Structure 1
Amino acid sequence: MRKEEECSLAQGVRDFLLQYPRKTIALDALQQQFGTFAYEVFHGVIQHLLQEGSLRGIVSSGTDFGGLPRRYRLIRARLCSSSDQIQSDAARYAISARLDLSFYHEQLLPVWQRDLPYIVQLSDWLRRSADQLVLPVSDQQRSWDIFQDEKILLTPEGRGLLRRLHLSWQDIGVTRETEPLMMAAHPVMMQGAVCHHLIVENKAPYYKLLPHLTESRLSSLIFGSGWKIVGNLSALPMQSGCLTARHVAWYFGDMDWEGIRIFHALSMSAATASVELRLALPFYRALLLHEAAYGKVTQKPDEEAWTNLACWLPEDEAHQFLHLLQHHQYYPQETLCDAEWLTCGKELDDDIREFF
């Protein structure tokens, strides 16, 4: 077969592959699509596409009797000749060698063109910072340094750009800062050697207790916001302004497997945050005065997390809660009424008195 004929047939296969929705394709699918080709012709066309890099054989799939791989990965950038454009742009803008562009060589050209302005800015920053000590800063600050926009690296698109270029936060000198605690302070109770804090998982109980904070022995009331509290508990000593005090955090969350896992993760976080974590028992005891709700059947039991929480409960109460959980029943924090919130808050005050 003449070379020009082979190239013409190969272009027909390229056009088909450019519209193919998946990243890989089987040899059988190609043979079915181009069944009019004699095998010798088909073999030559596939070999041509392999040599130019438009297709990459998947070795683990094996080969047919003629030595062709039985499955292929599509290299879309080669299929539409975008690699030449990438190389040209990389030379034109002097793209830093620290940026790995391999991802774009396997994509359609518009993907490269979309990211190119940001890649140029990132490359320029890497070049400017190459000969100087790069001090770790927040992601917002580094986003401003690179893009003159403090929000780009905070977006999924910005984080995705780093992943596509195989860059880590460390590569661009970013130190990830924890989210600030969402807390209400009781200044009078922050004067002593011990500061007590109540963490509630959800927003509704936070606002029920907030008007009564100044009547309590609590130094602060904290809105845990589900899992967020696990990552930002370390901010408590500094954010409270009581760096030398002993900090005791009392936790009350939903009595379901998710709430139990949050408490378990929070226990490990507290150990490195110079915070003592305890279970706010009066609130959990009050839940047992109500009928449990049924649902959340997709939540998976966690024996380790349960053991960690159950050790804070009297044995009979732990048994009652576990029985309910095993039958897909649970208690949301909202189970308690306004009067019970106040009663439990006063009972927690009695527990806090032990420290004074």
Structure 2
Amino acid sequence: MSVTIDITGLPHERIVFRPSPLAELGNALHALAEPDHHTGLHAWTTATTAALAPDLADRLLEAEFMWQSTRSDFLLPPHPRETLAEELDDLDRMDDEKFVGAALEISCSTSFYSKGLPSPLVDEWSRRRALDLAAARGPRQAAFVERMLADPTAARAWIRRLLEDCDRAFFADTWQRVRDGLATDARDKTELLRRKGLAAALAAASPALSLAEDEHGSRIVVDKLVQGRTRADAAVTLLPSVFGRPHLFTLYAPGWQPVIQYPAATHGLGHTDSTETVVLRLAALTHPVRISLCRHLARGAYSTNELADASGITAPEASRHLAVLRKAGLVVTRRRGRYVLHQLDLPVVARIGGDFLESVLR
């Protein structure tokens, strides 16, 4: 399985490596929300969490679904700027339907814009579905989605203030420490692209990135436990990240410029095997469908019906695979009101092997 970006006819100078303060802030917030995903950042997450003002900590909880399990697309800027303020200004210029669609993709475990559904800002059926899906994710998400749909302008201003307050509280100092390293990584990949070509630059960024060329054209292939494709008409942006490791995010939604966020080069970290290699190693112990389910369960808690819908299988099939994962001690289950939610037990999975954990989090 993979995500492919068609770059046929795209000049290589339109493939840009550049750091983004907004993307790195999104990664830092994710690390605070899911410290088990980032054991190498334990000292930073512990110290930063302890220093958060109670009001800011509470507000982060209200919005953490936008970066906890994955990333809202607006946190991966296609045109990185020098400062966070400039990137937030770019967000302010995004139209409401696009912004709200990106937010609801995460908070409602669905995508309105990628499935061609009408926006919940203008369509009553989509609005009811968004609210129902958000309610299944918990009261915080339900309240936030209701507020977003009722007054998107005020909700967007609230998000901007939250990100600005995070910048003042901890991220400005953090960005000062990491930005030079990220800029160096981006320059190195750009020079490699110029001297040795795109295939070499992609391989240097991540072993999960490759270039495919044949009679049908040229494609960037991102090795992930998900299937998707898009075409780059104007450019492709690659964002190096310190706080994003081990994740490899790809923005490939319709109407968005493709963006890839990759772990920047870090001393002391070993090679990460491809997903194909990891799947082969685990073939004797598990089932390919269950590996795919693990990708969803690693990012958040799902009900059986939500997991079935996200994976394209029936609810009975999902239930049978969940039973196997629970029996193996890989999944924890809890009840929230009338919903029974399942989630991957990351510390247990980590003991199986770092390659598998990095693959489901990639």
- The higher relative CO (CA closer than 8 Å, separation ≥ 6) is in 2
The TM-score by the shorter chain falls in which range? under 0.3
How high is the TM-score relative to the length of structure 1? 0.22
How high is the TM-score relative to the length of structure 2? 0.21
State the structure with more CA Rg: 1
